[in-house]
Structure 1
Amino acid sequence: MNEVILKIENLSKQYRLGTVGTGTLSHDLNRWWHKVRGKEDPFLKIGDVNDRSTKGASDYVWALKDINFEVQKGEVLGIIGKNGAGKSTLLKILSKVTGPTTGSIKSKGRIASLLEVGTGFHPELTGRENIYLNGAILGMNKAEINAKIDEIVAFSGCERYIDTPVKRYSSGMTVRLAFSVAAHLEPDILVIDEVLAVGDAEFQKKAIGKMQDISKGEGRTVLFVSHDMAAIQNLCTELLVLENGKSIYQGKVVEGIDLYLKGNRSIDNKSLLKIKNRVGDKTSLFKSVSFSSEYKGKMYSKTDKIYSGSKVYIDIELKNILTTKRAIYIAMDFVDSRNIPVMNISNEFTKKPLYSKGEFSTIRFEIPDFNLRAMEYLISLWGGEVGTAGFDYLQNEVKIEVIETDFFGTGSIPRAKQHGYFLLHNNCENI
């Protein structure tokens, strides 16, 4: 039976912008009077949503609002969201760096945290002394730390400098030692913020491997915040997505990453003219994109789903502000659920321009063998003339879902987890 090791109920954190406190004696007395009577703080009833990009009407802001989730023992929970979504605030509350405004946290066992470069380190103490200091904070005795110290130093790769004050360490060395301490002193819950990005590629790979060992081999729990979607997908078993201080998703990792990358927006390939976030001189605009696939002799027309391994037609409709005939190039960039580029299609490769004329024109791309694996992809569109910055550019505003098929002709469908991207050939023509 699964054991819940961490439970968060109705967790909220409110901050006052500008000065600390209520600002007036009457407000302080009002807050104190409500508190002694066991009443709710009257200033908690006001406050804006934590949207850092807009100017609020209140001096109070909810960094977190009504967060609820449970974490099972041995689970790796990824936490993602835009800057200012509340990720670091949540981890600071869990690590008891700060307290919640409302709500409760129930946990079992020791929590070790790595939130910022040098978290828990005293700059005047040596690396070795800081290892003992961190162990004592976690409740370990000297004998327990002695049994682990050689392993901690070896993993950190800082053995030559272990008896040097950490104020002389680089940020990368500090993170190496801090992570090594947090990971090896046997916490029941390991909390890691995106501080690992400071380390080099070799250490990041080493750290992720250690976190996998902690969760799978030792049955310990990890909470991991990162903007690296590849690391999130490879490491985490569950995902929490935060937006403006609120939880908008908790569940499977791939679905959560898709939601985050799409920005929780609805994509309509047929109504691209509604999109305001576009770049270019706007002499032509992308109006719509539609996909057709020819699979097993049957044509599936004008859908947002195509079959892998089939012949695919991509029809791009333009609205031309400049209606005179001109030679243009079109490019499409495909990214997968981790925002990793997987394919580019363009008539720039063939050095054969397409021709646009009139108020509306349609360009067709033909791909004989569309062999991307099954998942949703986002597509960026660029259009322009030779030697120009382009008339229109839409980033990740088109969506296509690929359905898995037996495109190898082996009689079986490839596994969903199989990775592999194939060189595609494309022909471009007017219709």
Structure 2
Amino acid sequence: MNETVIKIENLSKLYRLGQIGTGTLSHDLNRWWAKVRGKEDPYAKIGQVNDRTKQAASDYVWALKDINLEVKHGEVLGIIGRNGAGKSTLLKLISRITAPTTGEIKAKGRIASLLEVGTGMHPEMTARENIYLNGAILGMKRQEIARKFDDIVEFAGCAMYVDTPVKRYSSGMRVRLGFAVAAFLEPDILIVDEVLAVGDAEFQKKAIGKMKEVSTSEGRTVLFVSHNMSAVKNLCKRIVLIDEGHIMFESDDVGAGIRHYLHIEQDGQLCSGEWRNRQGISENQYVDLLRFYVTNEDEHILRDIHRNNTPIYLCAEINIKQLHEYLSFAYFLYDTEGDLVYLSSSADKTKQEWPRFREGFQKVYTQIPARFLNGGRYIVELKAIIQGESILKDIEKAKPIISFEIRGGMSDSPFWPEGTHRKGILAPIFDWKVR
């Protein structure tokens, strides 16, 4: 079946910055008078693009602007983008939690949304009461809900607490219950925002499996928002990339969408082996990241291809403005499909072995050993972290991301001649001995 179940036409959402409302009686009267005459909101004309890295030049901002999108029956659509891009706003509009400023949304069937921890859960009510309440909101009969009740409780893993008020649940338990209710009460459209990250690994695996089952076996539509690119690639058949309130990329090629999101492609070119903070944005109080690059042993920046039989070095030039006991740096190394190969942190070892930072300018670097990575292109993102929180959010639009390519030199063995590509992401050479 190729029926369209969600159709979005010229959808836009305007918000006012600062306090709720327009802030003045004159603004309220002007907007009311324009609406009465069937005219455009006069303050919508001055709304600025939703780029949160810049100072506001207007009291109004477009969270979404001119969105056009169709979603087919049984489709699993991945929606990706950086924080603040407009993903959650789009889902709230589709879920009818808020109304659009302009444009319209046409949706067929019942919609179940899981947009944040505890969505749809009344904290004073028990899990049992919440399950029946949510089913009633979806228009289900009591007998239908009772038939699904045991499956919901089993999936959520809350049998012991089914008659305990939800306010006493942990955030992970609330997510499990909320997802189970949304998935098992047979909505035609299931909307899941970035909430699965709160759950443990076992639950994430179960949830992704359930969403696959919902779309393939039961033919229902799923809209999935996540920053976990592996989950997006594993689950979704189509992808939409949103940035600054606009759809920047839409394709059935999920891998291409992920590469676009990871900034691998910039104006059609692969990102290089060097990143500079050209915007000069450095609003956090601890550290300025000035430069991030990859070099060989001779400290030449690798802008092209490197052989894997010699080590390479990842180097960051930083200016520490204020020391913090738990400041660390980490890099995340991805392949071109967006899968995380591994991550490495300056805080991986005991605290006594952490690098000793000082205030002022310095370089921090680490090595990727020879004969470790297999041939291919890799993307590296650098983060500065304090107690698990990234402190470089202010430069997220221009993420410190570089890439490099490795070819050849897989080993000295005659069984791996030049041009041969061995399987796998890693290609380490280990010693083999006979006793």
User: TM-score scaled to structure 2, two decimals?
Assistant: 0.71
SS of the equivalent of 1:150 reads: helix
Aligned twin of 1:79: 79
Give the count of matched residue pairs. Answer: 357
Q: In structure 1, what is the Cα distance between the partners aligned to 2:371 and 2:118?
A: 54
SS of the equivalent of 2:43 reads: helix
Aligned twin of 2:260: 259
Query: Equivalences for 1:6-17 in 2 at 5 Å?
Result: 6-17=6-17
Shift of the 260–196 alpha-carbon distance from structure 1 to 2, 3 Å rule, reads: same
Q: In structure 2, what is the Cα distance between the partners aligned to 1:403 and 1:13?
A: 47
* AA partner of residue 164 (structure 2): T
Aligned twin of 1:175: 175
Maintained 8 Å contact 1:272/1:288: no
Query: Equivalences for 1:116-195 in 2 at 5 Å?
Result: 116-195=116-195
Q: In structure 2, what is the Cα distance between the partners aligned to 1:396 and 1:42?
A: 39
Q: CA deviation at 1:399?
A: 3.0
SS of the equivalent of 2:290 reads: coil
Aligned match for 2:302, one of 282, 285, 289: 289
* AA partner of residue 379 (structure 2): L
Aligned twin of 2:223: 223
Q: In structure 1, what is the Cα distance between the partners aligned to 2:198 and 2:273?
A: 42
Maintained 8 Å contact 1:290/1:315: no
Q: In structure 2, what is the Cα distance between the partners aligned to 1:201 and 1:261?
A: 24
Maintained 8 Å contact 2:10/2:102: yes
User: TM-score scaled to structure 1, two decimals?
Assistant: 0.72
Q: In structure 2, what is the Cα distance between the partners aligned to 1:98 and 1:61?
A: 16
Maintained 8 Å contact 1:240/1:250: yes
Aligned twin of 2:196: 196
* AA partner of residue 11 (structure 1): L
Q: In structure 2, what is the Cα distance between the partners aligned to 1:366 and 1:151?
A: 49
Q: In structure 2, what is the Cα distance between the partners aligned to 1:234 and 1:56?
A: 38
Maintained 8 Å contact 1:271/1:287: no
1:251-307 superposed Cα distances (whole Å, 9 cap, x missing partner): 121111111112764555487679675358xxx9966424458xxxxxxxxxxxxxx
* AA partner of residue 290 (structure 2): R
Q: In structure 2, what is the Cα distance between the partners aligned to 1:41 and 1:269?
A: 44
SS of the equivalent of 2:302 reads: strand
Q: In structure 1, what is the Cα distance between the partners aligned to 2:45 and 2:308?
A: 58
Q: In structure 1, what is the Cα distance between the partners aligned to 2:310 and 2:94?
A: 51
Q: In structure 2, what is the Cα distance between the partners aligned to 1:135 and 1:191?
A: 16
Shift of the 238–403 alpha-carbon distance from structure 1 to 2, 3 Å rule, reads: farther
Q: In structure 1, what is the Cα distance between the partners aligned to 2:54 and 2:428?
A: 44
Q: In structure 2, what is the Cα distance between the partners aligned to 1:21 and 1:130?
A: 33
Aligned match for 1:278, one of 268, 277, 290: 290
Q: CA deviation at 1:421?
A: 3.0
SS of the equivalent of 1:68 reads: strand
Maintained 8 Å contact 1:291/1:313: no
Q: CA deviation at 1:211?
A: 0.5
Q: In structure 2, what is the Cα distance between the partners aligned to 1:271 and 1:14?
A: 37
* AA partner of residue 399 (structure 1): S
1:75-112 superposed Cα distances (whole Å, 9 cap, x missing partner): 11111111111111111111111111111111111100
Q: CA deviation at 1:140?
A: 0.7
* AA partner of residue 236 (structure 2): C
Q: CA deviation at 1:37?
A: 1.7
Q: CA deviation at 1:28?
A: 2.0
Q: CA deviation at 1:135?
A: 0.4
Q: In structure 2, what is the Cα distance between the partners aligned to 1:419 and 1:122?
A: 48
Shift of the 343–186 alpha-carbon distance from structure 1 to 2, 3 Å rule, reads: closer
Aligned twin of 1:23: 23
Q: In structure 1, what is the Cα distance between the partners aligned to 2:141 and 2:399?
A: 54
Shift of the 268–169 alpha-carbon distance from structure 1 to 2, 3 Å rule, reads: closer
Aligned twin of 1:244: 244
Q: In structure 1, what is the Cα distance between the partners aligned to 2:241 and 2:309?
A: 34
Maintained 8 Å contact 1:50/1:85: yes
Query: Equivalences for 1:407-418 in 2 at 5 Å?
Result: none
SS of the equivalent of 2:40 reads: coil
Aligned twin of 1:422: 427
Shift of the 379–122 alpha-carbon distance from structure 1 to 2, 3 Å rule, reads: closer
Structure 2: tracts of 5 or more residues without a match: 281-288, 316-330, 345-367, 383-397, 431-435
Aligned twin of 1:335: 334
1:344-371 superposed Cα distances (whole Å, 9 cap, x missing partner): 9xxxxxxxxxxxxxxxxxxxx9978974
* AA partner of residue 103 (structure 1): G
Q: In structure 2, what is the Cα distance between the partners aligned to 1:292 and 1:18?
A: 49
Structure 1: tracts of 5 or more residues without a match: 294-309, 319-331, 345-364, 382-393, 426-431
Shift of the 74–139 alpha-carbon distance from structure 1 to 2, 3 Å rule, reads: same
Maintained 8 Å contact 2:308/2:374: no
SS of the equivalent of 2:74 reads: coil
Q: In structure 2, what is the Cα distance between the partners aligned to 1:419 and 1:105?
A: 45
Maintained 8 Å contact 1:127/1:162: yes
Q: CA deviation at 1:23?
A: 2.6
The Cα RMSD (Å) is: 3.9
Shift of the 379–120 alpha-carbon distance from structure 1 to 2, 3 Å rule, reads: closer
Q: In structure 2, what is the Cα distance between the partners aligned to 1:51 and 1:189?
A: 30
Q: In structure 2, what is the Cα distance between the partners aligned to 1:268 and 1:118?
A: 39
| Range that drifts further, 2-11 or 267-276 | 267-276
| Range that drifts further, 41-50 or 183-192 | 41-50
1:40-88 superposed Cα distances (whole Å, 9 cap, x missing partner): 1111111111112221110001111111111111111111111111111
Shift of the 285–191 alpha-carbon distance from structure 1 to 2, 3 Å rule, reads: farther
Q: In structure 1, what is the Cα distance between the partners aligned to 2:105 and 2:119?
A: 22
Shift of the 333–287 alpha-carbon distance from structure 1 to 2, 3 Å rule, reads: farther
Q: In structure 1, what is the Cα distance between the partners aligned to 2:18 and 2:55?
A: 13
Aligned twin of 2:108: 108
Q: CA deviation at 1:27?
A: 2.4
* AA partner of residue 335 (structure 2): D
Task: Give 1 or 2 for the bigger CA radius of gyration.
Answer: 1
Q: CA deviation at 1:313?
A: 8.2
Q: In structure 2, what is the Cα distance between the partners aligned to 1:254 and 1:184?
A: 30
Q: In structure 1, what is the Cα distance between the partners aligned to 2:370 and 2:129?
A: 63
